[in-house]
Structure 1
């Protein structure tokens, strides 16, 4: 068996070696790796300079081509940026393969040949075109995540690197050819990377992707994948890395069709917005469901019973019926004058055309455009029967005839989607007619506005109304589809919101991420098969992540006491991290809660990393005033990109998807009571309890919820 060139070294030994002054690369393996990092950075700089020096003056036909090519060059330059604190490579693979008789690829070490690859966030090559760093998404890199002692995948040695301030300070080798019990050992550097303090926005996990995560990341573009994952299982990171992988494997296709990441709120999107750029992907759009359907200004809010009905999938059929009710039938024959001739199309023949278009169930606008052509064709048939020889130009002229246009306007009038929804919510008779046998009288009463609004601009639209308008718009005209959509925190979407997202990937695929135990809306998803059916992806593959990497074992075990009450069929997350002392429960005297919260925050800030104070929404302002007067100056969610981001004050309703090294959670019972139902409150509490990476302190005056034991 081939012996690796560098002597395997433990992490501690590598760290003890330290950044010795100018060691000889031939004598010190760590110095050799540092030299390779320096050479790789030099090569990356040369790649960037090559692109910057391109002269496109004589290669573009016009200014449009020049602008497009210039934008592509600018994007390429940005993707080749060398971020000082982002290592170019994080691992190394030493492959070993047997030399065959017809192998002409150069000298070998005995009967075997070594192939060494450095694995990093992007591809880097030297001036001759030989790779110095291989993109983590390339097929040759996959064994870095999948190889094991029981299945080495032709890998002799896997090396992980430890960094401080962008410089290599340690390395750790794993000999995959070693004999023994075959048991897998936990990488110390891997553990350190997972536990590294979370200051600032979310970072990529490209150096710590686990085998079960890697299988999801590299799943094909053609299929939709739904990932059920508890807190700390890395489902959000898996979804973002899957986008990066798909853009690598199918770049041309996705460049044409586009990609989109959908998050629950703007704070969450700010938190994750740096992950894809760090992986070299700069073109992925991010949005919330509300921004996708922002066809009208949202200035109102619905009570939960009303929002539940508006979000029900039955509303799609109500809208369809209401829209099709605008289609009429002619009562008289159509007469088209062409020169000295008059051509008559009977009313019953036009009615048959209308019925045929309705039976095809094509979109309202497409059918409205097709009707004049159908009528014009009927006129051309009569012309041909009379001995004339009309061509397509004549048919188009007939379709534009004043009489034909007047007929179409009468029997198939244009419909404004917002006005259609306005009438449904403001006209009791109209709503009753088109929801017969679909909605109950109580549901219709919940839908109707207390007072009708005169127009679209004066109406107080809610977020659920905007989704209804989006559905109506799609009934009129097809919504453009993207190549791939990532939907995070999907468990909180209503059926109508799923339909809105599904329209954006109707001809593409999706990655659906969520945790049924964290559903906090009144319309939260009860089961993934139902949600995927509303999304239009009933055949999606459902994967479950149960290994936790973020939340300490003591914290996730405490939060999991709530699972029997909020998600009895869900598997408990098994955390790989044991951290004694990571959970503290503090009972305070009456009237001293805010002072105790300040004390707990100061204790958390004494540690390295970020701190999140999660409070019931109703006490956010009071908590901010206390902390500010104490000189702690908390940030709001989404402001974590600031360099002074240490303490963030988080209303409980915005905590989902965020993570902090230390979390102080205030008054669990008040947090539960703030929600419409106890189950929703317990779900909200479960979310808050699982935001911590290193430690959780629960501060309370009231008795804890009985579900916590």
Structure 2
């Protein structure tokens, strides 16, 4: 291969390996392709024996693993007893435990995946091995440099036109944890880089189990997003297979590395669409040494409320117009004081007249949150009493003011004028009292919309109310109006196009003084309130200056499959550019009409099982139980993916509504017409389903395919 040197040793994949793809020829172990001008050439002009180079790199890998073990053993030997008190000991022990966990070696994961031979005259090493974490020997000599370090950027960005001080980039091929091959790319020769076989095979490697990291295959445009500054909010519109989720996770890892002290205090959170998705991505950050990142669903943040609700009601509750309605509903609980305050202390009586009480309440109303405002009112009333004490020659101190603020007359006045309320109490009143809703809504909602919001049969009290997922965002909004929501340093939001305006507001206030990474695909919006633009999403999050970037070049989904699914784009997202794939994928798509769908599914599963990799059988949610029973009756081992489960078998039966964000080597989609008919945005759901395949897609149907897929709708 021109411009590369390949090691003539064990191939990256062999036919007997569990990672091999029978449909792909294995590299010839006797291949001796060399670079036309090899920068590793020795002084006599001869290139070194690739077998010797490979052996030297294996020795470096062994030394690096030994050094990592020594680093972990040293961390394990440290004791928290040196801390002064019990609390400090617990904190220190927690930090030590995290350090030990971060230094864990994963035998099946390459410790490094690349090498840079630099030509610079600076103090940095001339040879750098780039890997998932930093490793040094007992003399503090770096053996592996973290991929997030500034010097490692050249591994992803260097090219012959801008070598960035690098004369050669070397990529390594691994099978499990064993180094099996290497490939050199000269960067200072002015030659055009050829396609990297190792890079291509790593991208196309069959996937089993959870999502894996992509540190070895990050592309330059992805790297720019990953390394964006902490102060920047980045929004990524990513077509299927472009790696947007992986980019978001690696950005979180990069920011934690670069701003460790700040983010260790404020925290980083990953927000995903469901627990199955979070389970799928759960191994990525720990593999990169980051074990302190919360990963939650929106329901996990706002409250897992599951009461059924009509889509029209949920859509209205998710509308941004609900924010001012909630604000007014809360502050309507404050009433105009009709009486003054009378405090008796011993034989003395101190009176604050009603007009002064009204002035105090008016000065506080709307200038602070409801809870702090209530506390401030008690102190302001007590202060007014102390002024009168001083006018009579007394010398009250702060303890007297606190006692007055806690006194029964002040509490009674507070309860009458500025009552203590909970978010549940306010929302209950809003949804059950038409007159109160009309006062809070003013002209922000129509009469018909107000009737839509009201409960047909209100619960007896707020304590017995059953809340929905849409209610959860409203309760969170009210909670923030009462007491400030704790904030994070950075939030990564995946599948953000499916969140309502009120849900986005809830996430945005959790990073109000931080930043966010927003990921999604407008074409995959499947909720009734799906966003139509990323500017709209950023506005609801509270980031008016976020950077929107688009990834259209796919690395995972074969071109033949992606082009087939893209026929739906004019109907679901006409403003988006059609995605492109680097992988031709000839023969990857099969569309079959069947007379007996159950038999066709069983036959397709049997055919697909003969190939390497994971299998996802996707059907409309209502059809999943019947297909599962049919597979079980035929003795086909499989699992059924649920909202809270993760796949454990090679074959997974997946409800269409849970397919988003997941990937399988082989996907079998059953009856697209049923998937489309199941919901209002069924075509968008079908687009999601059709783009889950990494190697092959089989579409089985008895009913006619949607017209957009056949061309009849164009």
Same fold (TM over 0.5): yes
Residue 144 in structure 1 maps to residue 155 in structure 2 = yes
Aligned partners of 1:312 and 1:114: how far apart in 2? 56
Offset at residue 92 of structure 1 (A): 0.3
Please report the RMSD computed on the Cα atoms of aligned residues, expressed in angstroms.
Answer: 2.1
Offset at residue 62 of structure 1 (A): 2.0
Task: From the superposition, tell whether residues 98 and 248 of structure 1 become closer, same or farther in structure 2 (CA, over 3 Å).
Answer: closer
8 Å CA contact 1:229–1:515 kept in 2: the answer is yes
Q: Which residue of 2 aligns with 1:603?
A: 607
Aligned partners of 1:55 and 1:363: how far apart in 2? 44
Residue 166 in structure 1 maps to residue 167 in structure 2 = no
Q: Is the partner of 1:511 in helix, strand or coil?
A: strand
Q: Is the partner of 1:504 in helix, strand or coil?
A: helix
8 Å CA contact 1:11–1:188 kept in 2: the answer is no
Q: Which residue of 2 aligns with 1:307?
A: 314
Residue 414 in structure 1 maps to residue 420 in structure 2 = yes
Offset at residue 316 of structure 1 (A): 1.5
What are the residue-to-residue correspondences of 1:529-568 with 2, within 5 Å?
Answer: 529-568=535-574
Aligned partners of 1:343 and 1:186: how far apart in 2? 87
Q: Which residue of 2 aligns with 1:428?
A: 434
Q: Which residue of 2 aligns with 1:516?
A: 522
Aligned partners of 2:77 and 2:49: how far apart in 1? 33
Aligned partners of 2:473 and 2:120: how far apart in 1? 57
Q: Which residue of 1 aligns with 2:503?
A: 497
8 Å CA contact 1:239–1:513 kept in 2: the answer is yes
C-alpha distance after superposition, 1:582-618 (max 9, x if no partner): 11111112xx011111111221111100010110111
Q: Is the partner of 1:142 in helix, strand or coil?
A: helix
What are the residue-to-residue correspondences of 1:264-275 with 2, within 5 Å?
Answer: 264-275=273-284
What is the total number of aligned residue pairs between the two structures?
A: 675
Residue 681 in structure 1 maps to residue 682 in structure 2 = yes
What are the residue-to-residue correspondences of 1:443-522 with 2, within 5 Å?
Answer: 443-522=449-528
Offset at residue 351 of structure 1 (A): 0.9
Offset at residue 446 of structure 1 (A): 1.6
C-alpha distance after superposition, 1:365-391 (max 9, x if no partner): 010011011122223333444444443
Offset at residue 475 of structure 1 (A): 1.3
Aligned partners of 1:366 and 1:385: how far apart in 2? 29
Q: Is the partner of 1:322 in helix, strand or coil?
A: helix
Q: Which residue of 2 aligns with 1:330?
A: 337
What are the residue-to-residue correspondences of 1:181-200 with 2, within 5 Å?
Answer: 183-200=192-209
Q: Which residue of 1 aligns with 2:102?
A: 79
Q: Which residue of 2 aligns with 1:127?
A: 138
Aligned partners of 2:225 and 2:619: how far apart in 1? 35
Task: From the superposition, tell whether residues 557 and 619 of structure 1 become closer, same or farther in structure 2 (CA, over 3 Å).
Answer: same
Q: Is the partner of 2:455 in helix, strand or coil?
A: coil
The correspondence for 1:353, drawn from 351, 356, 360, is 360
The correspondence for 1:30, drawn from 30, 37, 54, is 54
C-alpha distance after superposition, 1:250-304 (max 9, x if no partner): 111111111111100111011000100110111111111111111xx63421111
The correspondence for 1:282, drawn from 291, 294, 299, is 291
The correspondence for 2:617, drawn from 610, 613, 619, is 613
C-alpha distance after superposition, 1:192-234 (max 9, x if no partner): 0000001101000011001111111111112211111110111
The correspondence for 2:71, drawn from 43, 47, 59, is 47
8 Å CA contact 1:200–1:640 kept in 2: the answer is no
Aligned partners of 1:250 and 1:187: how far apart in 2? 33
**Greater shift in the superposed pair: 251-260 or 233-242:** 251-260
Aligned partners of 1:694 and 1:131: how far apart in 2? 39
Offset at residue 359 of structure 1 (A): 4.0
Q: Which runs of 5+ in 1 are unaligned?
A: 1-6, 100-104, 106-112
Q: Is the partner of 1:521 in helix, strand or coil?
A: coil
Q: How does the TM-score come out when normalised to structure 1? A: 0.92
Offset at residue 8 of structure 1 (A): 6.2
Task: From the superposition, tell whether residues 438 and 12 of structure 1 become closer, same or farther in structure 2 (CA, over 3 Å).
Answer: farther
The correspondence for 2:401, drawn from 395, 405, 411, is 395
Aligned partners of 1:545 and 1:379: how far apart in 2? 64
Aligned partners of 2:97 and 2:431: how far apart in 1? 49
**Greater shift in the superposed pair: 122-131 or 328-337:** 328-337
Q: Which residue of 2 aligns with 1:3?
A: none
Task: From the superposition, tell whether residues 647 and 307 of structure 1 become closer, same or farther in structure 2 (CA, over 3 Å).
Answer: same
Q: Is the partner of 1:343 in helix, strand or coil?
A: strand
Aligned partners of 2:583 and 2:4: how far apart in 1? 26
8 Å CA contact 2:156–2:219 kept in 1: the answer is yes
Q: Is the partner of 1:97 in helix, strand or coil?
A: coil
